[in-house]
Structure 1
């Protein structure tokens, strides 16, 4: 059968039909930017200290000195989780003793925050941390909430890729968008941390899953010249747009329930897109549903004001395809030969470690010096030039070299942060944003690179499995941020080292630049960067399915 791109070449590359698909699929990604990073504000931890109840009958002096001081970033600050024992302070106050003069505070017995905490409202009016006191002995729950969200994304990525290969791109796209919006709305009514977290897992299952399906759907409908710009300046930039709007919403809605409600509402606007976004003709052809595929192509031609051929698919070709046994693809097929398994394993590592850097840098922005809302906006804004850079590089340069390059630059500047003096906050912030620039550029390229390596029948499964590996990285990422509470440099050393390491590994991938999208696993084995070698004495069967070895060049 002729190549699909050759069959539909008469449609053109950038007619009204392609523009409609481009912008509608891209717009459907905006809610992902909201939900994907909303935990930055929903689970924000404001400054806090132990509550000293009015019933303690302390004098003003003893009330002011009821919280011990601790050293943090070179300065003395009130302790967040300890206070002096109130029974002692009450006795000292009744006796008229003065703190520091008559009583040595350093020798006083301390106790935990038995009466709860007082939370600063300078940044947040309320978060799930202040609602359910997720601090001190319970502070592990906040990063766990984020990790469990990404566990949901992991599960969704694992399932949605296979479902869309079986039941179609369009139906799974809208199903996952409905899950994301509906359960995000239900979170508003959470009555406990446990309920919030369980619902958050389900939101995660629908979150990046529909991002992956939208990407695959656009990749298969749009032509080769538009495919790269869709994958970078399309879905990625619209994700960044939603991400940039997040701190704007959070700035004006500083109570977490109101913020979550506002972030859930835009998902309802995606429902009417069902009547405008078609199924992937490529997928329909792979399912032998040729009439439906032709109808979509005929409608596209009509929208582009182009006269379609009377016969789009040659009857002889269709007869050939219908007599062939339809191939069913499972995850194990991604490991069916030695060289396909090698590509898959390297892809999993690439996605996972890149994801660690991206999400750890994104989630740590409120912890940078300065305003949390501005830092988050800058972290989102830096993604736009990162995507533009990715698009420009992918247009003209080999995939593996540009991905390795931006990862090495991003990881390298993160390693430089340890050399910056503690007082040079702006320099550290700038280097962190530059590192985010490099990792983000690479992350956006991975979708294109992986989709170009795998055949149509397994493309969404492959991207879904790779995306699942990236979610393993995102599950780990919140704990990189958590390490920053103990050593502000350690997270950047770890992220920088891993990013440089995976950049080097990328050089050993096969190259897909300039290649036609493969339709079968056999075509995948002919991707640039591979050579076939047959041993003497091979059977006829082995000659038809030669073992493929990696050759890096």
Structure 2
């Protein structure tokens, strides 16, 4: 048995292998778009509540004749009675006093009661917070999923985490429209958040790990465009269901998760994850399939891989196959806390993920408060998201990641602050309503691009065995912002200027923190924290690094 020794600390150059397979080959593109199709299910899971939890105009139901008689009224005489949204103002003829009654007979709605679960379960007035609570519970589920699933994904693989979560999400979606009690619905929204995040996070990691650093930017940015396009589909879908009950609409949105069946048979495990975790037998199988689909010579590619492994890892031969003796540096989750640079990166990224998420989803949540048609406002907001991501794709080719994030975040923050000033510091009119909508949409343009770059940047500054855990922490920050975002709609009804002010100030502050982080443009993904420190050092003195090892 022959053993090839090497110096400790060397790593496998996976980018070299991926380039040998043709980085834009049929295999990579097929895997990329299959995984990206799960974005549609993810968007449907989150945004459906904006359409099935619509809050209609509400008034108290009228008092009966016997109830009116108790206040001294006879016949059809109703002078002195005012039916409001949450109370009844009535003049008591017996005591000659004005009284305020609750809606003792329930509520009357401006639309079919069963078009929204808010009206079906009377989640208005003193129970109004419950409609927003269901979305907050969903965000709590996302928070839990962002903590648990990445650990599972880093240990057992991207594919198991993705598909187990996808199946559970589909089951959850099929049960949700059938529930008859609000609290059961709210509990299912909690589990839906866990499964949805567990489904999309490993998918996104795998999508990025398909490509070498030289073209990763293009495909990461393209994922933002696909995400925005998925959001764009929700408005016409909701419009088509506008006359259906909320249960039918919920089922239509849930059926999208059946795309799982198309993915399952074709999506493979991440080659990068397999090699990092010394699973070379599984790697060989996938590389063979990739070589066949990309029409390259498998033997040449595999021999190149074996040579790389033998020169960069201690290897043994067993039945003609390379078997590693040593593993890539095993980094525990606590490294994110103990290592000063990892801790700094994580805290800044968590804060920015929180503010980006809060602003991004908050703008969607408050779309109904803008002037004009609700469905049209949502559609225009989605259009601005796609436009921002397309523009960002071209900008990223010329500028650094940090510069791009800072510019887009600052642009969004300033636009949202201007929208507040226009709406509340200038005399109201048709022109101010339009200007307010324009600057709010510009805020979405900036934050959607910033959010996309943030998720492109983060995987590039975490080492391989911390990557999903780091993304998980970011996901927790994002989920916390998502958790708060539903109440921006509730807040906007009472303190209309507050949500956009918080959005604008928060993301502008976050952009200053981003300047202190290492740059990752034109680099390969790091394997160890030393590689991350190398990124920070090289960009202090050079416009771009010469080389960085990858896993």
SS in 1 for 2:536: coil
> In the alignment, is the contact (CA less than 8 A) between 1:340 and 1:525 conserved in 2?
no
5 Å matches for 1:125-140?
126-140=115-129
Q: CA 1:142–1:65 in structure 2 vs 1: closer, same or farther (change >3 Å)?
A: farther
Name which of 3, 6, 24 aligns with 2:13: 3
Q: CA 1:283–1:392 in structure 2 vs 1: closer, same or farther (change >3 Å)?
A: same
Give RMSD over aligned pairs.
2.3
SS in 2 for 1:85: strand
Offset at residue 65 of structure 1 (A): 6.4
> In the alignment, is the contact (CA less than 8 A) between 1:284 and 1:290 conserved in 2?
yes
Structure 1 match to 2:403: 401
5 Å matches for 1:215-364?
215-234=204-223, 236-254=224-242, 255-308=245-298, 309=300, 310-311=302-303, 312-314=305-307, 316=310, 317-320=312-315, 322-325=324-327, 327-364=329-366
Q: Residue 48 in 1 paired to residue 58 in 2?
A: yes
Structure 1 match to 2:25: 15
Query: How far, CA to CA, are the matches of 2:78 and 2:227 in structure 1?
Result: 48
Q: Residue 110 in 1 paired to residue 115 in 2?
A: no
Offset at residue 269 of structure 1 (A): 2.5
Name which of 80, 84, 108 aligns with 2:85: 80
SS in 2 for 1:49: strand
Structure 2 match to 1:31: 41
Q: Residue 528 in 1 paired to residue 516 in 2?
A: no
TM-score (norm 2): 0.86
Query: How far, CA to CA, are the matches of 1:125 and 1:251 in structure 2?
Result: 16
Q: Which runs of 5+ in 1 are unaligned?
A: 69-78, 93-102, 533-553
Offset at residue 10 of structure 1 (A): 1.7
5 Å matches for 1:427-442?
427-442=435-450
> In the alignment, is the contact (CA less than 8 A) between 2:278 and 2:327 conserved in 1?
no
Query: How far, CA to CA, are the matches of 2:198 and 2:233 in structure 1?
Result: 21
Offset at residue 149 of structure 1 (A): 0.7
Name which of 379, 382, 396 aligns with 2:381: 379
TM-score (norm 1): 0.86
Q: CA 1:390–1:60 in structure 2 vs 1: closer, same or farther (change >3 Å)?
A: farther
Q: CA 1:135–1:531 in structure 2 vs 1: closer, same or farther (change >3 Å)?
A: same
Offset at residue 209 of structure 1 (A): 3.0
> In the alignment, is the contact (CA less than 8 A) between 2:89 and 2:100 conserved in 1?
yes
> In the alignment, is the contact (CA less than 8 A) between 1:366 and 1:375 conserved in 2?
yes
Q: CA 1:504–1:239 in structure 2 vs 1: closer, same or farther (change >3 Å)?
A: same
Query: How far, CA to CA, are the matches of 1:529 and 1:82 in structure 2?
Result: 65
Offset at residue 164 of structure 1 (A): 0.6
Structure 1 outlier segments of 4+, above 6 Å: 57-61
Name which of 100, 125, 144 aligns with 1:155: 144
Offset at residue 253 of structure 1 (A): 2.0
SS in 2 for 1:313: helix
Query: How far, CA to CA, are the matches of 2:354 and 2:17 in structure 1?
Result: 37
Offset at residue 8 of structure 1 (A): 3.0
Q: Which runs of 5+ in 2 are unaligned?
A: 1-10, 316-322, 541-551
Offset at residue 62 of structure 1 (A): 5.2
Offset at residue 383 of structure 1 (A): 1.1
SS in 2 for 1:526: helix
Query: How far, CA to CA, are the matches of 1:60 and 1:329 in structure 2?
Result: 80
Offset at residue 239 of structure 1 (A): 2.7
Q: CA 1:62–1:247 in structure 2 vs 1: closer, same or farther (change >3 Å)?
A: farther
Query: How far, CA to CA, are the matches of 1:245 and 1:59 in structure 2?
Result: 55
> In the alignment, is the contact (CA less than 8 A) between 2:90 and 2:101 conserved in 1?
yes
SS in 2 for 1:188: helix
Paired residues, what number? Answer: 505
Query: How far, CA to CA, are the matches of 1:279 and 1:10 in structure 2?
Result: 18
Deviation string, structure 1 residues 333-357 (Cα, Å, up to 9, x no partner): 1123212211111111111111111
Deviation string, structure 1 residues 141-189 (Cα, Å, up to 9, x no partner): 1221111110001111111111110111011111122222211221111
Offset at residue 504 of structure 1 (A): 1.5
Q: CA 1:365–1:115 in structure 2 vs 1: closer, same or farther (change >3 Å)?
A: same
> In the alignment, is the contact (CA less than 8 A) between 2:123 and 2:130 conserved in 1?
yes
Q: Residue 173 in 1 paired to residue 162 in 2?
A: yes
Offset at residue 64 of structure 1 (A): 8.2
Offset at residue 364 of structure 1 (A): 1.1
